[in-house]
A and B are shown apart, each in its own frame.
Chain A
């Protein structure tokens, strides 16, 4: 079975500050891990994914995430927040053959001027 836990349903940062959104997973098979962003009243957009290989993954809009197997974590970071980063962020896991995504509860990111 697989599951995802996102620590913190709401995160607020100042513009220009570091963004850190936490994600821990549980999986009985080697996982594929994803971060999606959802803007209000819109669909889910893929930010980045980890499948195999390099554990530090770079995505769009300056985001990156590091897969840490020993900590079962896949935290999302961005060095400097921008107002346009305000959105809901979902971490998700699937098996290593793809297939259905299991999502975390989501983290709403607010960016203060």
Chain B
């Protein structure tokens, strides 16, 4: 089965620009998580969605927003980019409560964002 797909894989932006990262979860997974991993750091939880509704929120800057669409894919929108936003952004998906194994998150390959 296909894994979590993220696009683009690499992105270079200038300060103050905007960026949109996309995540396509595994088929039948209705929960999506976003994480940010800075250089040499552990992944930090940003935000999650279940059945197209925000389910939890972590250390996500106000300049960022995200949503989950009817086909369960998710987009992370980042505005007024700063140098410190340069990081690897992971998306993970998990099955819903009806399917069991909801605690297991399957990670995509990540989008590497570089802000110049």
Contacts and interface: CB of A to CB of B under 8 A. Distances in A.
Secondary structure at the A interface, as helix, strand, loop or mixed, is strand
A106 B56 contact: no
Interface stretch (A19-27, A40-48, A65-73): A40-48
A91 to B, nearest CB: 9
Interface residues on B, range: 20 to 34
A109 to B, nearest CB: 15
A102 B107 contact: no
A90 B90 contact: no
Given A43-B107, A51-B103, A100-B58, A105 B42 contact: yes
Contacts of A82: none
Contacts of B94: 98
B33 interface: yes
Interface in A28-46: 32, 36, 41-46
Contacts of A42: 109-110
Nearest to A45: B107
B90 A44 contact: yes
Interface of A: 32, 36, 41-46, 49, 51, 90, 94, 96-106
29 contacts: A36-B107, A41-B112, A42-B109, A43-B4, A43-B107, A43-B109, A43-B110, A44-B43, A44-B92, A44-B107, A45-B107, A46-B104, A49-B103, A51-B103, A90-B42, A94-B103, A97-B102, A98-B31, A98-B94, A98-B102, A98-B104, A99-B48, A99-B56, A101-B33, A101-B92, A102-B45, A103-B43, A104-B42, A106-B42
Q: Report, nearest first, the 7 A-B pairs whose CB atoms are least far apart.
A: A98-B103, A103-B42, A44-B107, A100-B45, A43-B107, A43-B109, A98-B102
